[in-house]
Structure 1
Amino acid sequence: MTNQQQSKAEWHKILNERFSGTPREAARYYGIEILPRLMPCLEKNKQSCKVCNQHFMDMDNMTVHAPEWMKKNDPQIERFQQLMEEIGKHLKSAHGIMPRGMILSRFVAVGLLAGALAGLVISFTNKAGDIAGSAMLGAVVGIFVAWIAGKIRENSLRKAQKLF
């Protein structure tokens, strides 16, 4: 690659060329849909972080060979997946950067559980006859509130450039 940073759109184009002919199912299974957002993030941080620089070079090299590995079910594809996990952990711990949608999904899962439990508690304390209905209503309210809270949190992180 050049010394000039590529935009997300340019990375999307580059990765589309590299992964052309790769079955869509394989692309989803191996999680490559995150690469057009991940590569610019690594590229942006590689000047100030040696680990990001190494991860960027490794991932850039691996994306050239990964389509062949996917088609042949080569064991190298496991290293590719491990590297993507390592990068995610590094970005989160060292830079406080998380993938878009991660926080929202966590908020919604917690909201679902909290809402259902709140519905059950209310149902038992009021001696209401419809326990299942109370739990379902609580779950819906919990999801709704958590979705709004998750979106607000992700917007604040996006403004702080802590999402990729």
Structure 2
Amino acid sequence: MKRLLFLLLMMTSLSASADAFYVLAGYVCDKKADELRITYDGAYNEAGKAMMASRRKTQWDPWDLTVAKDDDHIGSLKTVRANCRLSNGVYAVEITPSPGNFNVQGRCGAWMTAGAKVFKGRKQIYSIGRFDSDCFGEEPIVTRVAVGPKLTKPVETSVSSAEFYK
């Protein structure tokens, strides 16, 4: 009887499904508002797939900006560079992926975020190494950064990790 019960339990095991979380890092050159905005968005499952399908030309999945070394390691990172002309000149933006670990099997290995830099002329006016601090972090996540001639300094918008990963 125990064997029969064991076999029935094995045959009727529930199929496993895991959530998939999608992330996009990008920028908006809003000439009407005279502002450059850096964006960092994330969503789970179907909402994430929809976000990826409707992304702008100026948004990237950070994983698409990596080059594999082998099956288990990231070899190098690509940086997206672009310019945004606003009323007081040209702003240069750089977006770079920021993996949790170059060994994708290691701690935080399958976790990915991104970082960004903004320059006005040769002067760096904003830099963030990671929008999201760590794969286990509880710190706020930067989702928007605005720079431009109407702002005296870059303005960050953050949300809690609980809100970002809901």
Fold conserved between structures, TM > 0.5? no
TM-score (norm 2): 0.23
Q: Which has the higher helix share?
A: 1
Q: Which has the higher strand share?
A: 2
TM-score (norm 1): 0.23
